[in-house]
Amino acid sequence: MSYIDVEYYIETIKHPEEIAEKMAGIQSIGIQKNINKKVRKKLEKYSAIIKKIKLTGYKNKYELPTRVKNGKRVNCASVILSFPVRNFGGNIAQFLTTVAGEIFDLKELTALKVLDIKFTLDFIKFFKGPKFGLEGTRDIINAKRRPLFGAIIKPCVGLTAKEIAELAFNVALAGADFIKDDELLGDVSYNTIKQRAKAVSSGLKKAYEKTGKITMYAFNITDYPDKIFLLHDTVKKYGGKAIMYNVLAGGFPLLKKLAEYTELPIHCHRDFSVAILRSEYIGLTSNLFTKLVRICGGDMIQCGGIESSLYEKDEEVLKNFSACTEKLWHIKKALPVSSGGEWAGKLPVNLRKIKNSDFLFLCGSGIFDHPDGPFAGMKSIISAYRAIKKGIKLENFDCNALKKAIEYFGEVIY
């Protein structure tokens, strides 16, 4: 019988062994004490096992709200619990309920973070992962052996389908590999997915006829389960080449079903999820979240950004990148996305720290806030990469769009 090991960081007013026993009981058979021998024997194969407990220190501060009065010393510990796969099988909702469920309600815990999960083949076999992934996405837009360069439409909301199509057309003319809706724009009355898919796809076709360059656009179809597949079909019908999904807002089970159904790559946004990722004292780690998105079928996964405007340190972002591409049996590699306050002048540090070209460099304001407009904004990104490949400092490269970007956005980060 297969078990999955889940590593937690806990802070508790109880002895770690006592609270680990309670965690194991609550998240498996529901009770550990006062069970007769016959029933205990029957339930043994469904019980979580305490695999490891390591006391790591002490503190006097409660990091989470609790009805327990202040003053009791807090024990800090690492705990590994093993859960039988038979308890949840391939049901991702039940799996998450098991490994990150009611234990977060325990008043004795003043911090609880799910650090990592050691997946097994017996569990992973229930998942198909990305249908396209890193290589499939490259194939669609015919971009090999280099980073992909993309744009997030700004302003976020309020534009008509025709206005977004015009922005997308100009960015595509400048050489964009990828463009996407902002996560705040869905299927809305003033700009429906149908209107947007028709207008944008038509504009990108015109750009392709001028340049011979394929540009992928991801339409945000996050919605109710009974509607999301219809929106996918609409995008496909009108020539769209990708869809976007806000993972935690929409749900992991729906992502898994969408990935099995889709004929288009899924760009996965992590908005809302950061509410459970950011604190070191509660929730999940971001790299674990990234793994779960990949397993459930995310083809492109937003990972935070190198030297970005977001909260994560670069080391954490790089862990998310690794979660997209590490070996995981039959699960394809997902395309990591570096995004969050990026612009041309941050491409050098991205390449230096990521140490490979298997990522999407995605910019919003770094393109659409360019003084000379979005065409110049996208051109500054492409020119930055050409300068790097030629070994020329970005400040010295002969491209007016890049020079203007540096004047406007600030110093280049190498």
Sequence-distant (6+) residues with CB within 8 A of 398 are: none
- What's phi and psi for 153, nearest 5 deg? -60, 125
Task: For residue range 273-328, list pLDDT tens digits in order.
Answer: 999 999 999 999 999 999 999 999 999 999 999 999 999 999 999 999 999 999 99
Where would I find the H helices in 44-128? 92-99, 121-124
Q: Are residues 275 and 387 in the same domain?
A: yes
Q: Are residues 307 and 245 in the same domain?
A: yes
pLDDT value at position 398?
98
Q: State the average pLDDT over residues 268-276.
A: 96
Short-list 294, 293, 285, CA closest to 100: 285
- What's phi and psi for 361, nearest 5 deg? -95, 105
**How many structural domains comprise the chain?**
2
Least confident of 70-74, 119-123, 193-197: 70-74
Task: For residue range 126-168, list pLDDT tens digits in order.
Answer: 999 999 999 999 999 999 999 999 999 999 999 999 999 999 9
In a domain, 323, yes or no: yes
In a domain, 65, yes or no: yes
Q: Are residues 282 and 386 in the same domain?
A: yes
In a domain, 333, yes or no: yes
pTM: 0.97
Domain boundary among 124, 147, 180: 124
pLDDT value at position 30?
84
Number of helices followed by number of strands (H, E) in the chain:
17, 13
In a domain, 34, yes or no: yes
Q: Are residues 359 and 304 in the same domain?
A: yes
pLDDT over 70 percentage in the chain: 99
In a domain, 231, yes or no: yes
Q: Are residues 138 and 255 in the same domain?
A: yes
Query: Which domain does 98 fall in, by range?
Result: 3-124
Q: Are residues 47 and 152 in the same domain?
A: no
Rounded to 5°, the CA angle 190-193-198 comes to 100
What burial class does residue 324 get, using C-beta atoms within 10 Å of its C-beta: 0-12 exposed, 13-18 middle, 19+ buried? Answer: buried
> What CATH number is attached to the domain comprising 147?
3.20.20.110
pLDDT value at position 16?
98
Task: For residue range 159-188, list pLDDT tens digits in order.
Answer: 999 999 999 999 999 999 999 999 999 999
Q: Are residues 342 and 257 in the same domain?
A: yes
Q: Are residues 107 and 210 in the same domain?
A: no
Task: For residue range 58-106, list pLDDT tens digits in order.
Answer: 999 999 999 999 889 999 999 999 999 999 999 999 999 999 999 999 9
pLDDT value at position 90?
96
Q: Are residues 88 and 196 in the same domain?
A: no
pLDDT value at position 402?
98
Q: Are residues 313 and 276 in the same domain?
A: yes
pLDDT value at position 194?
98
pLDDT value at position 33?
66
pLDDT value at position 42?
86
State the chain's maximal CA–CA distance in angstroms. Answer: 80
Whole-angstrom CA distances from 57 to 54, 72, 116, 285, 291 are 9, 14, 20, 20, 29
What burial class does residue 367 get, using C-beta atoms within 10 Å of its C-beta: 0-12 exposed, 13-18 middle, 19+ buried? Answer: buried
- Tell me the average pLDDT of the chain: 97
Task: For residue range 383-400, list pLDDT tens digits in order.
Answer: 999 999 999 999 999 999
Q: Are residues 161 and 83 in the same domain?
A: no
pLDDT value at position 40?
78
Q: Are residues 7 and 150 in the same domain?
A: no
pLDDT value at position 36?
78
Domain boundary among 124, 152, 182: 124
In a domain, 168, yes or no: yes
In a domain, 414, yes or no: no
> What CATH number is attached to the domain comprising 36?
3.30.70.150
pLDDT value at position 1?
67
pLDDT classification of 32: cutoffs 50, 70, 90: low
pLDDT value at position 116?
98
Q: State the average pLDDT over residues 367-375.
A: 98
Domain boundary among 98, 124, 150: 124
In a domain, 332, yes or no: yes
The helix or strand, by DSSP H or E, that contains position 170, with its residue range, turns out to be helix 161-173
47 pLDDT higher than 70: yes
